[in-house]
Amino acid sequence: MEILRPLPFPLFPRLFPALFAVWVMEEGIYAPDDEDDEDDDDVPPGGSVPPGDARPAPATPRRPLSARTRRTISILFRLLDTRAAGDFPQLLTDPRQVSDILDGLLRSRITCDDLEHVAVLRDHLCTAVTTPDILDVHDLLNELALQHGVTPQIDGDGHLTHTTAFADVASDVAAVVVPTVMELHARGWADRVRECAALDCWTLFLDLSNGGHQRHCTATCAARERTRRRRGRPRHATRGPGPALDSRGDG
């Protein structure tokens, strides 16, 4: 009968860490993941909190946007593109612009007196899609919804819509665009709102590319920038006339 030889001593220190790890996992000594990560929610993926009092909220998992929401996002960005940019003043100067942007979604006719209120709402929304302080943005969106009486409803086709109890034009606009900004945050797309990198364009757009590396609002801007760099010509800042007015009439 062969006598079993003891394991060589140098092998034991190598096996001990692995055996200890198996024992720890089976005994459940470590706290569950949700408790263990409780103190890490305020730390961004980079591992450090940026300077200042603002603490970034945990990243929201990115979920798909419906075609209906994407159409509303285009309305939102057309409104935001009338904001003041660089040395150029804001472009919301004609009631027909708002009617054209909302494309028949307003319940009442807009007048020149309504433009100032719509411009204030637009500037708040611009803050909500461009500021890095997510916690303050959520508070701002909730305040805008309360201020304009924005209420969710389900229509006859089962679609979620939002209405307002107020009769003013700014509240009509808020009922369309405020829930859209909320959805951008709730579905994890807030960090994908970009400003066009072309030096003569301030258009905001939503980067839907897989890698998140889109830099220009359209292929036209990208081609113009490539041409400018290739020719080495300096850029002269210009800005278009804003959203085109509806050519069908005063609306």
In this structure, is residue 17 part of a structural domain? no
In this structure, is residue 107 part of a structural domain? yes
In this structure, is residue 198 part of a structural domain? no
Q: Which residue has the higher pLDDT, 215 or 104?
A: 215
What is the average per-residue pLDDT within 206-225?
90
Q: Which of 241, 233, 240, 245 is nearest to 201 (CA)?
A: 240
> Any idea what the CATH number is for the domain that residue 121 is in?
1.10.3300.10
Name the pLDDT band for 216 (thresholds 50, 70, 90).
very high
Bridge partners, 153 (sequence order): 161
What is the average per-residue pLDDT within 225-230?
85
In this structure, is residue 185 part of a structural domain? yes
Q: Which residue has the higher pLDDT, 177 or 230?
A: 177
Quote the mean pLDDT of the chain.
Answer: 76
pLDDT at 34 over 70: no
Bridge partners, 151 (sequence order): 163
pLDDT, tens digit, for every residue of 116-167? 999 999 999 999 998 877 778 999 999 999 999 999 999 888 888 899 989 8
pLDDT, tens digit, for every residue of 67-112? 889 999 999 999 999 998 877 888 899 999 999 998 888 877 889 9
In this structure, is residue 130 part of a structural domain? yes
Name the pLDDT band for 225 (thresholds 50, 70, 90).
confident
3-state secondary structure 74-101: HHHHHHHCCCCECCECCCCCCHHHHHHH
In this structure, is residue 135 part of a structural domain? yes
Counted residue by residue, the chain has a size of: 251
Q: Which domain holds residue 183?
A: 67-193
Q: Which of 72, 74, 81 is nearest to 243 (CA)?
A: 81
Domain count along the chain: 1
The single residue listed with the structure tokens 């996992």 is 25
pLDDT at 173 over 90: yes
CA–CA separation, 189 and 65 (whole Å) = 9
Which amino acid does the sequence have at 222?
A
CA–CA separation, 98 and 105 (whole Å) = 10
In this structure, is residue 173 part of a structural domain? yes
